[in-house]
Amino acid sequence: MAEPRTVDVQSFLDENPFSPFQWMIFGLCFFVVFLDGFDTAAIGYIAPSLLSEWGFERSALAPVLSAALFGLATGALLSGPITDRVGRRTMLVCSVTIFGVACLASSFSGSLSQLVAWRFVTGLGLGSAMPNAVTMMSEFLPTKWRATLTNTMFCGFPLGAAFGGFLAAWIIPQFGWRSVLVFGGLVPLVLAALIFGLMPESVRYMVANGASADRIRGVLRRISPSATSATSFVAREAKVSKATGGLGIVFSQTYVVGTITLWTAYFMGLVVFYAMINWMPVLFKDVGLSTTSASVVTALFPLGGVFAIFAGWVMDRLNGNVTVAICFGLTAVALWAIGRSGGNIAALTVLVVVAGVLLNTAQTSLPSLAAAFYPTRGRATGIAWMMGLGRFGGIAGSFLVGELSARKLGFDVIFLALALAAIIAAFALLVKQFATTHAATSIATSKEGTLTH
């Protein structure tokens, strides 16, 4: 008889080539994020048609535009602990199905109140889907490519939002605004079916929760036939009690400092992002740019997210906390320079592009940091709560600039305030780096879970 052979699942992922099976999981998670971007932005593209068809005032759009944002936050906060209990695959299928059904149902709305309600439900699904996609993908990745591929997956969000704009420009004149929501509902339902049929449960989750060796072996064999001879499996990371839920882990003494600093960084990053996206056209027009120029310069800001792939490559080779902190620090410098540039359109254009590259790179990289920081039993909760609470930073950013403008503060002061938010994010990550060094050492040297047979 062959001698028993125990396999550490992360070492297995690290030692074997990235397989077509893992690329399939990457593709499914990428399209979850892509459709998240599409459905999140969809309401903005149909807003002009709503105004003309239903004839209400522009101010009445506010509940419609914000309903999904509140749903996103709520969905993330609710789903994280549940995912750490029931599994990544189950929650991912459910969340994609929810936002698909809700988006499809919203296309049949006959009133503003119905549309607001369905957009909130859509947000619940979206808020659960993205952190679950991050969690699932991170648990199938080799360590040396974790940040690179997670950040690459996140590029699906701006691509999905941009695709929505092109689709809306073509489809609305022919079929009306409801067709955008029909598309945004049907495609996620197809994706949910594909996830249900093709994607297994996370191997790290199965080991941590005592799944059978046969079940784990069946998944790992799709990565490499060398798993066939394994008789038991283990995951090496920080020890946590099976009775401890996701929230208990996230707020435990080992992780609480990292939790607070990740929340702070994500919150402050979205303060800057939403303040820039929502207010740049108005602020730039106030300093002398034409409406067209202000819109074009603003449109350049989110495009920098694609540089997150390079940042992920750097994070996989150097220190992730410090890398992202530097990006936030340089973002602060760029924002301060925007405030000092006045109405110089050439300077504004260059600085907005630079700020967009730096901020979007930093913000996109934070889920990778969270995925690497938390153990399997608390990973979904940690990522979801960071992203869920961070959504309120987007709301705060919009109100911040509105309040500063109401107080008649100048262009330079407003951007200085945004620069301070970026500095706080950078400082938070440096605190995380220095305060959690001991915890990181423990994670690297201890084991979690039992051998499964």
- pLDDT digits 0-9 by tens, 191-211: 999 999 999 998 888 888 888
CA atoms in the 13 A half-sphere facing the CB of 226? 13
Cα separation, 401 vs 392, in Å, equals: 15
Class of domain 246-445 (CATH, top level): mainly alpha
Class of domain 6-220 (CATH, top level): mainly alpha
Asked if 6-220 and 246-445 have one fold, the answer is yes
Give the domain ranges of the chain.
6-220, 246-445
pLDDT (average), residues 282-287? 70
pLDDT at residue 419 greater than cutoff 90: yes
- pLDDT digits 0-9 by tens, 297-333: 666 676 666 677 777 778 878 888 898 999 999 999 9
User: For residue 244, what pLDDT band results from cuts at 50, 70 and 90?
Assistant: low
User: For residue 98, what pLDDT band results from cuts at 50, 70 and 90?
Assistant: very high
Global model pTM greater than 0.75: yes
